[in-house]
Amino acid sequence: MDRYEGPLLAYAIRLLAGDVDRARDLVQDVFLRLVRADRSAIGERMSAWLFRVCRNRARDLQAREKPMRELDVDETPLDTAAGPLESLEAQDDATRIRTAVARLPERERELLHLKFQHGLSYEEMGEVTGLTATNVGFLLHKALRSLRELLPDAAGSARRECAS
């Protein structure tokens, strides 16, 4: 529970449009299902199993209630350790990235979150979403290519920083 509670809660909050209380209830339900589940059937795939159950339960809740809303673009905290100009630039970059990610199809957004926020492998993401690992890789590649097109100066500045 210590290992997965935080990542599952973050995932559930995103799936439930920022509703922290519903997300906590959802994660509690996921762990209750884990207690009742046949551990031998889960095996080494604990992470994928937990995220899949979390995703499916969130979709069940959404089907009964209202559709998911997009991330609030103004949720980026200011970095107080950096200077004011750096903080504003970082906030602007984060806003541009969130806006670009919000323009991607839902499945690609979900895969990006599972990969970069929760560190799941292609196989684990496939188990969570019902896709093959190959399809996960293709969709992630497509999403990253779309982001490069939507954020051309970010990709260019990253290449310049790597070159120096």
Report the mean per-residue pLDDT for the chain: 78
**Interatomic CA distance for residues 58 and 96, integer angstroms:** 27
36 contacts 93 by C-beta, under 8 angstroms: no
Domains of the chain: 5-64 (no CATH), 83-163 (1.10.10.10)
Lowest mean pLDDT among 30-34, 58-62, 145-149: 58-62
How does pLDDT run across 5-54, given as a tens digit for each residue?
888 999 888 888 888 988 999 999 899 888 888 888 887 888 888 988 89
